Amino acid sequence: MTKRIISVSVCLLMVFALMTSCSGPKQDKKKISIVTTIFPEYDWVMQILGDRKTEVDVTLLLDKGVDLHSYQATVDDMVKIANCDMFIYVGGESDFWVEKALENPMNKNRTVINLMKILGSRAIEEEGEEGEVHEHDEHVWLSLKNAVLFSKHICTELSRIDDKNAKKYLENTANYLSRLTELDENYSKVVNESSFNTLIVADRFPFAYLCRDYNIQYYAAFDGCSADTEASFETIIFLAGKLDELGLNSILQIESSNGKIANTLKQATKTKNQKILTLNSMQSTNRSDVEKGETYLSVMEKNLLVLKDALS
């Protein structure tokens, strides 16, 4: 059914594009257009643009609180992707719709950036039941080291598209990379000075890349892309046993959680006094949050404070 919907959308896109190309005089393109799927990509672009952000048309597709796993592109989204100068997407399992969206571009010079492809062999393999590997973990943005890699690549491509402003983009990127690297070093310092090195997560856990960066161990109720909302009795008992065994004082969840599993897990421990802390995976961050001043760095800074508390 989903593939059918996508096919219909593509047909509508082609009709729309044909109609608009034949209606009235052709207008000169005034702005470079960049389409991003998720908030981190959007913010990296804005940081690289700097004071030129008002001169470039930047679109955030996942802008209504819908996360990567449940997003469905609209006809308008497909038109924007077909006509843009640069399209940035994650390239994981949830981006199955992108292949159709990239067909028949109206802008033949469009640049496409696939984050998973940039990461290549460094992508983490996500395990399913009984250790079976079924996909690569697509939450690649939750690593400051990856953010450095992706920002460099975006800068290179943007500088090629808009070479007259390349110097500005390179300067902005250098400053931004310095801030990312500084925060990365702060993460390392916090982890190295912490009493514990293990996280217990009563939720799906998209922070595998972050944990790999700093050699943090973790046990989670579900894998990063799981659609499950109820943990089994065996899972609760296992996680509670780990909390008791390691003497951990915190239980983690992500921002979309209702807290039910975390509270059930807490009551299954011997002490029943663990704090429930929340890490922000930025999967539902939208333009409203941006207008309030939220940035990729600000979210990762807050996550560092949560991590420091969880490991203390």
Read off φ and ψ for residue 125, nearest 5 degrees: -85, 125
pLDDT in tens, 66-104: 666 667 788 999 999 999 999 999 999 889 999 999 998
Residues 174, 202 share a domain: no
How many CB atoms sit inside 10 A of residue 204's CB? Answer: 23
Encode 292-305 in three state secondary structure. Answer: CCCCHHHHHHHHHH
Is pLDDT of 16 > 50?
A: no
pLDDT on residue 196: 96
Q: Which of left, alpha, beta for 29 (phi over 0: left; psi -120 to 50: alpha)?
A: beta
Domain of residue 267, CATH code: 3.40.50.1980
Residue that is written with structure tokens 């922070």 in the block: 207
189 part of a folded domain: no
Lowest mean pLDDT among 57-71, 170-184, 214-228, 236-250: 57-71
Mean pLDDT score of the chain: 88
- Both tokens of 116, joined, read 């998973």
DSSP single-letter state for residue 141: T
What is the rounded average pLDDT of the residues 191-196?
96
- Cβ atoms of residues 33 and 45 within 8 Å: no
Full residue range of the structural domain in which residue 205 is found = 194-281
Lowest mean pLDDT among 1-15, 163-177, 187-201: 1-15
Quick one: 143 exposed, middle or buried, by C-beta within 10 A (0-12, 13-18, 19+)?
buried
DSSP single-letter state for residue 210: H
pTM for the full model? 0.87
Residues 173, 233 share a domain: no
Read off φ and ψ for residue 211, nearest 5 degrees: -65, -40
pLDDT on residue 286: 85
Determine the Cα–Cα distance for residues 111 and 160; give it in Å rounded to an integer: 10
Q: Find residue 36's DSSP bridge partners.
A: 60, 88
Residues 254, 139 share a domain: no
- Both tokens of 276, joined, read 């429930």
Lowest mean pLDDT among 25-29, 86-90, 134-138, 284-288: 25-29
Please give the single-letter amino acid code of residue 305: L
- Which pLDDT band holds residue 128 (cuts at 50, 70, 90)? low
Residues 202, 153 share a domain: no
- Both tokens of 297, joined, read 């760095």
**Considering only CA atoms, which of 247, 194, 257 is closest in space to residue 226?**
257
Paired sense of beta strands 250-254 and 217-222, if any: unpaired
Work out how many domains the chain is built from and give that number. Answer: 2
pLDDT in tens, 18-52: 444 433 343 445 799 999 999 999 999 999 999 99
Of all residues in the chain, what percent are helix, strand and coil, respectively (each to 5)? 50, 15, 35
Between 183 and 23, the higher pLDDT residue: 183
107 part of a folded domain: yes
**Considering only CA atoms, which of 275, 278, 276 is closest in space to residue 255?**
278
pLDDT in tens, 237-280: 999 999 999 999 999 999 988 999 999 999 999 999 999 999 99
Residues 235, 152 share a domain: no
Determine the Cα–Cα distance for residues 20 and 230; give it in Å rounded to an integer: 48
Residues 235, 96 share a domain: no
- Cβ atoms of residues 117 and 92 within 8 Å: no
77 part of a folded domain: yes
Q: How many H-runs (helices) and E-runs (strands) does the chain carry?
A: 12, 10
Is pLDDT of 284 > 50?
A: yes
Residues 236, 166 share a domain: no
290 part of a folded domain: no
Residues 200, 178 share a domain: no
Is pLDDT of 57 > 50?
A: yes
**Considering only CA atoms, which of 228, 236, 243 is closest in space to residue 265?**
236
Share of the chain above pLDDT 70, in %: 84
pLDDT on residue 134: 59
Residues 148, 40 share a domain: yes
206 part of a folded domain: yes
Share of the chain above pLDDT 90, in %: 75
127 part of a folded domain: no
45 in helix, strand or coil? Answer: helix
pLDDT on residue 58: 97
Residues 112, 91 share a domain: yes
Q: What is the DSSP string of 6-37?
A: HHHHHHHHHHHHHHHHTSSPPPPP-SEEEEES
Residues 171, 203 share a domain: no
Residues 217, 164 share a domain: no
Q: Is the dihedral of CA 225, 86, 163, 42 positive or negative?
A: negative
Lowest mean pLDDT among 17-21, 115-119, 152-156, 242-246: 17-21
210 part of a folded domain: yes
Determine the Cα–Cα distance for residues 184 and 164; give it in Å rounded to an integer: 32
291 part of a folded domain: no
